[in-house]
Amino acid sequence: MLKFTDNLKLHVFEMRNLSAETRRLFQSDMRIVVDYLAEGNGYCSDRKIVHKEALIKLLRVLSGDENVEDTLSMMQERGIKEEEDVKVCELFDQYERRGQQKEFERSIERMVLENLEEHRTEETIVGKLVRWFSLTKEQAKMYYDKCARDVV
Domain edges within the chain: 10-92, 101-152
| Tens digit of each residue's pLDDT (9 = 90 or more) over 80-137 | 778 777 777 777 777 667 777 788 888 999 999 999 999 999 999 999 999 998 989 9
Q: What is the pLDDT of residue 35?
A: 86
107 contacts 101 by C-beta, under 8 angstroms = no
111 contacts 132 by C-beta, under 8 angstroms = yes
Q: What is the pLDDT of residue 143?
A: 92
Q: What is the pTM of this model?
A: 0.51
Q: What is the pLDDT of residue 152?
A: 57
